[in-house]
């Protein structure tokens, strides 16, 4: 859409006002193009900076780990470590991993984090979080019901619908249950 209005207004200016009208139309169209480009780029802006987003992911992963009888397996810790190295680099990953260990030893209240994510995160950012949590919970080769319940609770709190939850879950389990599954499985109860 870059210069669409510039060309249209220049053409109209040429027809109705000659070369002077074409020049004026081109300038007016350029201003309109600039307004549309600016408003479109604001919509694509993400709220979260990398550090905040990673911090939220670590809190939510700790919540899932605590839901699983408060146990954290070596494979799950390795998953978090590899995730942090891929996203932050080796040096920053070490400090984030120490932060994760501290989070695991604290009392967790995920409501403020989920509320913040529900208000400010894009659907893509929410899907990244769920993908990370499913990967984390299945890192030990199995996804326990307690972990699944915790991820479903997080999903609801951050505003991700059932279909999206199921689609991401099916990437890790290979099953897509569709409508009615939650009533049958009694998630979150």
Per cent of the chain over pLDDT 90 is 32
Residue 48: which pLDDT band, with cuts at 50, 70 and 90? low
pLDDT at 148: 92
115 touches 58 (CB < 8 A): no
Distances (CA, A) of 16 to 7, 9, 110: 14, 10, 63
- pLDDT computed for residue 32 by the predictor: 78
Mean pLDDT of 123-150: 90
Its pTM stands at 0.68
Helices 123-137, 50-67: axis angle to 10 degrees equals 40
Mean pLDDT of the chain: 80
**How far apart, in whole angstroms, are the C-alpha atoms of residue 115 and residue 158?**
6
The tokens describing 132, both together, are 């990370």
Centroid of chain to Cα 150:
17
Q: Name residue, tokens 């942090």.
A: 84
DSSP, collapsed to helix, strand or coil, labels residue 91 as: helix
């Amino acid at each position: 859409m870059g210069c669409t209005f510039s060309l249209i207004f220049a053409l109209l200016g040429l027809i109705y006002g000659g070369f002077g009208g074409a020049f004026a139309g081109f300038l007016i169209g350029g201003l309109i193009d600039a307004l549309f480009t600016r408003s479109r780029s604001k919509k694509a802006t993400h709220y979260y900076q990398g550090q905040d987003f990673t911090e939220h992911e670590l809190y939510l992963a700790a919540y899932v780990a605590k839901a699983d009888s408060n146990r954290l397996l070596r494979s799950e810790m390795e998953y978090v470590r590899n995730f942090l190295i891929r996203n932050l680099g080796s040096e920053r990953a070490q400090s984030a991993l120490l932060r994760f260990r501290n989070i695991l030893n604290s009392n967790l209240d995920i409501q403020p984090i989920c509320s913040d994510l529900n208000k400010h995160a894009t659907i893509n950012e929410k899907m990244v979080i769920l993908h990370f949590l499913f990967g984390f919970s299945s890192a030990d080769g199995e996804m326990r019901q307690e972990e699944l319940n915790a991820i479903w609770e997080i999903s609801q709190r951050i505003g991700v619908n059932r279909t999206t939850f199921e689609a991401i879950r099916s990437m890790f389990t290979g099953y897509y249950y569709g409508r009615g599954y939650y009533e049958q499985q009694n998630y979150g109860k």
